[in-house]
Amino acid sequence: MNIWSLSSPQTFYPLAGKLVPWFFALAIVLGAIGLYIGLLAAPTDFQQGDAYRIIFIHVPAAWMSMFIYIVMAFWCAVGLIFNTRLSFMMALALAPTGAMFTFVALWTGSLWGKPTWGTWWVWDARLTSELILLFLYIGFMSLHAAIDDMRRADRTAALLALVGAVNVPIIYFSVQWWNTLHQGSSVSLSRSPSMATTMLIGMLIMSLAAWMYAIAASLMRVRAIIDERDRTAMPLAD
Amino acid sequence: MNWHSAQEFFQMGGYGFYVWGSYLMAAVCIAIEVVALRRRSRTLNVRSGLTAEPRSPHR
């Protein structure tokens, strides 16, 4: 099979349909293992007590919120450069899932901040830039929904997504660039992680589960989008 | 296993509200998204005739 043929919505549609249940299954299995480690097996933190267990939701959600935005901006760029319809559909399919993870990261961060920092919210660099990320996702979706002509909607929203992409490195490096209440990264490529092995493994498995879930949800959504745009013109066989 | 009783588990060392508040909201968000996705796909299939429409007793 020619790999480029996958850039056609008609070819991609049945393939995505076959993949969705597998990614959902992987997400459930990994999520169950991750929850077992995070909630039952991992020891209580000597500094933060059991409040730290929020990490198993917070960090995967925060990682996904940034990563999904990068992927979304990538598809927007591909769409703008090569004028491929499926790329814009992929970007549009990723946005709600990215927004969901951003909201979860903010919510769990707030619930973690209260017992550890003594406040639900501060306007510091990390928290503010993550809030801006949520507004970027919402802005992307609303702008797309506000323009009737589909091609113009795709291109205009893509431009917004690309401009907003500068926010992602700001979020990521905010804990180094500014003084912030938020702690630095617990995991980095350049040094060994500053957390217990069980905790680290639990967090990584939960992150993998979040990945699988995001892939499943966005593939399912891109199928719905292909349907919505193409069904009227040409019925698809599944 | 880190816990000695179910009660201890639910109390989370006094942080139960914060920990369960986080896990619950994440679960609710995922549930809402999955339900919305299923509904969106199903509506389309019904409209395009791939899935049988719910049978009406009047027909």
Contact (CB<8Å) A221/B37: yes
* 3-class SS of residue B58: coil
Smallest CA–CA distance, residue B51 to chain A, in Å, is: 12
d(CA B25, CA A166): 29
pLDDT digits (tens, 9 = 90+) for A44-65: 888 888 999 999 999 999 999 9
Kindly tell me if the per-residue pLDDT of A197 is higher than 50.
Answer: yes
pLDDT at A229: 86
Beta bridge partners of A45: A49
d(CA A102, CA A68): 10
Put simply, whether the predicted model's pTM sits higher than 0.80 gets the answer yes
Contact (CB<8Å) B13/A50: yes
d(CA A205, CA A211): 10
pLDDT digits (tens, 9 = 90+) for A180-189: 778 777 766 5
The token pair at A118 is 């003594």
Q: Tell which wins on pLDDT, A126 or A185.
A: A126
Q: Is A108 exposed, middle or buried (0-12, 13-18, 19+ CB in 10 A)?
A: buried
pLDDT digits (tens, 9 = 90+) for A66-103: 999 999 999 999 999 999 899 999 999 999 999 999 99
pLDDT at B59: 41
Q: What is the mean pLDDT of chain A?
A: 90
Smallest CA–CA distance, residue B57 to chain A, in Å, is: 29
The closest CB to that of A224, out of B9, B33, B44, belongs to: B44
pLDDT digits (tens, 9 = 90+) for B2-33: 788 888 888 898 899 999 999 999 999 999 99
Only one residue has tokens 């991609």, namely A12
Lowest mean pLDDT, pick from A9-13, A88-92, A139-143, B25-29: A9-13
d(CA B33, CA A217): 8
Smallest CA–CA distance, residue B8 to chain A, in Å, is: 11
Closest CA to A130 of A159, A94, A160, A101: A101
Spatial contact of B40 and A221, defined as CB atoms under 8 Å apart: yes
d(CA A111, CA B19): 8
User: Taking CB atoms and an 8 Å cutoff, what residues of chain B touch A41?
Assistant: 1-2
User: Taking CB atoms and an 8 Å cutoff, what residues of chain A touch B37?
Assistant: 217, 220-221, 224
Kindly tell me if the per-residue pLDDT of B37 is higher than 80.
Answer: yes
d(CA A235, CA A238): 10
User: Taking CB atoms and an 8 Å cutoff, what residues of chain A touch B22?
Assistant: 54, 57-58, 107-108, 111-112
CA atoms within 13 A of residue A137's CA, in its CB half-sphere = 26
Strand ranges, E, within A65-169: none
pLDDT at A189: 58
pLDDT digits (tens, 9 = 90+) for A97-110: 999 999 999 999 99
The closest CB to that of B18, out of A54, A96, A220, belongs to: A54
Closest CA to A65 of A107, A35, A33: A107
